[in-house]
């Protein structure tokens, strides 16, 4: 898989760890992040990485800012993006299994290296389970298309 990564100034160290994990798992990394501690605007970076996923130039993306909140909000504004802000391994797993999240948003300030590694590994190796969850993802897409999600009855 091609994995886009992006970070602001508070996610530099975490991004470097994430890039190493991506490489160890045999995936390709596309880096949209910054490398220094000069203030950087997370919406710009989230947009670039999310757009790469939306345009199918990357399969998924992992975004890091101080809390992960800003990156999540910004990425979810891009059509076709389902960005999940996760703080533990279970959240990361469920975001893929149930929500088919294509963007993982993480905190550069609040996660230790071991938790970060486990989250990235499980997120990159967990597949969408489909089934009843497909209908719910279809409803999310309907909202994105300015349609009432209650009109969606496809899926199980």
Question: Contact at 8 Å (CB) between 14 and 64?
Answer: yes
Pairing of strands 60-65, 103-107: parallel
Q: What are phi and psi of 28, to 5 degrees?
A: -95, 140
- From 9, 29, 65, 86, the catalytic residue: 65
By CB atoms closer than 10 A (0-12, 13-18, 19+), residue 87 is middle
Check if 105 is active-site: no
Check if 27 is active-site: no
d(CA 117, CA 114): 5
Question: Contact at 8 Å (CB) between 6 and 45?
Answer: yes
Give the catalytic positions in this structure.
Answer: 65, 98
């Amino acid at each position: 898989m091609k994995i886009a990564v992006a970070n602001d100034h508070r996610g530099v160290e975490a991004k470097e760890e994430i890039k190493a994990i991506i490489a160890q798992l045999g995936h390709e990394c596309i880096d949209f992040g910054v490398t220094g501690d000069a203030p950087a605007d997370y919406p710009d970076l989230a947009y670039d990485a999310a757009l790469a996923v939306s345009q199918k130039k990357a399969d998924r993306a992992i975004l890091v800012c101080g809390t992960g909140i800003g990156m999540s909000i910004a990425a979810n504004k891009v059509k076709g993006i389902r960005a999940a802000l996760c703080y533990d391994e279970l959240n990361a797993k469920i975001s893929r299994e149930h929500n088919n999240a294509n963007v993982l948003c993480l905190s550069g300030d609040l996660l230790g290296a071991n938790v970060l590694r486990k989250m990235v590994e499980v997120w990159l190796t967990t597949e969408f389970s489909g089934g009843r969850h497909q209908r719910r993802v279809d409803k999310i897409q309907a909202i994105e298309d300015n349609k009432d999600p209650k009109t969606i009855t496809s899926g199980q």
